[in-house]
Chains A and B, each alone.
Chain A
Amino acid sequence: MENLIAGAEMLARWDVIIALLVGSIGGVIIGAIPGVGPAVAIAILLPATFSLDPIVGLTVLLGIYGSSMYGGAIPAVLINTPGTAVNALTSYDGYPMTQRGEAHRAVSLAYSASFWGGIFGIGCLIALSPVLAMIAPMFGSREIFLAALLGIVLVILAHRGQIFAAGALAMFGIFLQTVGLDAVTYTQRYTFGYSFLSSGINLIVVVLGLFALSQAFFLLTAPDSSPDAKPVTGKMTAGIRELLRHKRVATVAAGFGVILGMIPGTGEFTAQFMSYTYAQKTSKTPELFGKGSPEGLIASEAANNAVPAAAMIPLLALGIPGEALTAMMLSVFYVHNVIPGPQLFQNNIDLVYGLYFALIALNVIVMVFLLFSTNLLTRIIRVPTRFLGVMILILSFVGVYSLRNSLTDCMIAAGFGVLGLVLKRLNLPIVPIILGMVLGGIMEVKLRSALPRLKTPFDMIDRPIAFVLFALILLVLALHIRTLVKELRAHRLDEDHDIHDTQTR
């Protein structure tokens, strides 16, 4: 109870309140503009938050993460272009509703479903906290190593149809984090005699290059366009009542979001697809899906908004990020010497509760903001894409250069920017590189610290949790091979899809 109060107190500071407002409203706007997503914004703001208090910095970033999907629904519904790629399925049913002249119904349904999903996700996070606090200390070096390995396996397998590319990129990420002076043996690794490589390749520089600069290059090299959304008229609260008629779909979808959000490497996309399929299968009017079904819209939005809170679970409890945005947030923790993981629940539980409250508050702020300002946002999203590219390029400079005022960093970031552009053009995933870097670092450190206790390789899995994790890795691999064989027998191939775009924005 005291911890709860301490957590609430953390929010009752003017700087945290400003951070909440800036993060949540800024997140909605960023989400609503097609061509710039939360990853770009978080990457740019990351170094700026290092000088702030952990709770302030994390609140801004969480705000952007949690609210961008609300905003992303607006262009998805109004102009059939998802604002953030995780709103892709929202456009399936949202846009047909707009064409029928029901834009306000679609938009307000999307907001209400998002709110439902968001709050459900936080509810689960809070309910799970005592369990996490109990289980987390059972995770020693071996368990964390295995959990990170599971994360790598999952992030590769989650990119169906592009597994080899995702695998190669994840391995590239693991390799990247080994470059530089090895902290334990003091030997150089892949520095090629260059002193600037001795300190290693900075994660933030890579993140800024791959997410922000690449997006600027992407927009600047493509033809200019300016999304044109018509203003919405009608009662914005209509969706709330309609949502209550579809409580089951919303709750199950949010449940999918929570479960898949917790599992590293899967996230919003899989959650959205699974809940959409579920909603269609159990609907009384499955033929309406894709033609303006409210249930489809609810399934998609409730699922993706439940993910941010759930994605915080492995991050806070084990220090293992499951996707790119939480991987970026991990660096904020490290900069402030707050190490997420089992100790966090023992030493900084007030911060954990503070973050929970911040998540709740941001959902409320965003909901209220959107009910009154949707039409304002439809004007903001008209920014021409190339102009947006110019601004992202200028903003990326702040991010890269403020780290350590190094021109070399800018060159490295520019190099990764070009790599990111190539990957985006080829529709190949960027996230495996980032997760490879973060999880690779965790695996190396944890395996080393586990070594003294290992006499035989089997000692690695002689504890219950370690064994379960190892079994899970085998199970995931086996299931994947089984699906491949099945598909091969049925001669059914994956169709053209833009799934991975999401994770690149």
Chain B
Amino acid sequence: MSRVKTLQVLFKRYRRPGDIVFAWTMLIISLFLLWQLTEQTAWKPRAKLFAQPRFWPGVSLAFMVVFAAFHLIGSMLSERIEGRWREVGLWASSLEYAGWFIGYAAVVPIVGYLPSTMIFAVALALRAGYRSRVALGSAVVGAVVIVLLFKTFLQVKLPSGRIYEALPDGLRQIMLTYF
């Protein structure tokens, strides 16, 4: 019995709520990927083992399964911490911001970098709970500074907005090149 106890101590570790959910997810994903090994990688008949395209995915996934399994054991043997599902809820709430990010990326080629960045900065500041003029004004200023820095000065490769095409001649060229 005491031996079992010591083994438990070995696996117990400091953790936070939600750890076991992550541990299960990691194990399931790594098992799924390992199961797909023969399907998703090729085996070259005359090549050496170490040069096989299957070698590194196989080795890394096998070890990942082992590590993930031990991580899960550790999590199961440790005391349960309250607030597991509240924590998972918080992880899920970050998906909203991931959506904002993808939405922003989808809008830029249509509306143009400068207008979409300004709109997005203000909208997200409102979403984050800011209502004061100072905060919203700072969001606009921040957006303009970012555009000026990256697009105007550093000429980072970003697409021009399709709506810029509708602008009058002189202005269109400037907007297409710098904003």
* Chain A residues at the B interface, C-beta cutoff of 8 Å: 47-48, 51, 161-162, 164-165, 167-168, 171-172, 174-175, 178, 182, 184-185, 187-192, 213, 216-218, 220-221, 224, 384, 386-387, 389-391, 393-398, 400-402, 405, 407, 410-411, 413-415, 417-418, 421-422, 425-428, 436, 440, 443-444, 447-448, 451, 484, 488, 491, 493-497
Q: How far is the CA of A213 from the CA of B36 in the complex (A)?
A: 30
Q: How far is the CA of A168 from the CA of B65 in the complex (A)?
A: 7
- Looking at the complex, which one of B44, B87, B128, B159 makes contact with A185 (CB distance below 8 Å)? B44
Q: A387-B139, A493-B9 are in contact. List 5 more A-B contacts (CB 8 A).
A: A185-B47, A221-B90, A386-B128, A401-B105, A414-B102
- B87-110 vs A: 1/0 string, CB under 8 Å? 100110111011011101110110
Chain B: minimal CB distance from A56 (Å): 11
- Looking at the complex, which one of B53, B67, B97, B150 makes contact with A164 (CB distance below 8 Å)? B67
**With A221-B94, A397-B108, A418-B98 in contact, is A405–B13 under 8 Å at CB?**
no
- Cβ of B50: which chain A residues have Cβ within 8 Å of it? 447-448, 451
* Chain A interface main SS type: helix
**With A221-B97, A405-B159 in contact, is A171–B128 under 8 Å at CB?**
no
State whether B53 touches A182 (Cβ < 8 A): yes
- Cβ of B30: which chain A residues have Cβ within 8 Å of it? 168, 171-172
* Chain B residues at the A interface, C-beta cutoff of 8 Å: 6, 9-10, 12-16, 18-19, 22, 26, 30, 33, 36, 40-42, 44, 47-48, 50-51, 53-54, 56-57, 59-61, 63-64, 67-68, 70-71, 74, 87, 90-91, 93-95, 97-98, 100-102, 104-106, 108-109, 117, 120-121, 124-125, 128-130, 135, 138-139, 142-143, 146, 150, 154-159
Chain A: minimal CB distance from B42 (Å): 4
- Cβ of A491: which chain B residues have Cβ within 8 Å of it? 9
- Cβ of B108: which chain A residues have Cβ within 8 Å of it? 397, 401
Q: How far is the CA of A190 from the CA of B63 in the complex (A)?
A: 17
State whether A175 touches B130 (Cβ < 8 A): no
Q: How far is the CA of A341 from the CA of B158 in the complex (A)?
A: 33
Q: How far is the CA of A414 from the CA of B87 in the complex (A)?
A: 19
State whether B16 touches A427 (Cβ < 8 A): yes
- Looking at the complex, which one of B63, B139, B155 makes contact with A390 (CB distance below 8 Å)? B139
Q: How far is the CA of A47 from the CA of B156 in the complex (A)?
A: 8
State whether A394 touches B130 (Cβ < 8 A): no
Q: How far is the CA of A178 from the CA of B63 in the complex (A)?
A: 15
State whether A393 touches B64 (Cβ < 8 A): no
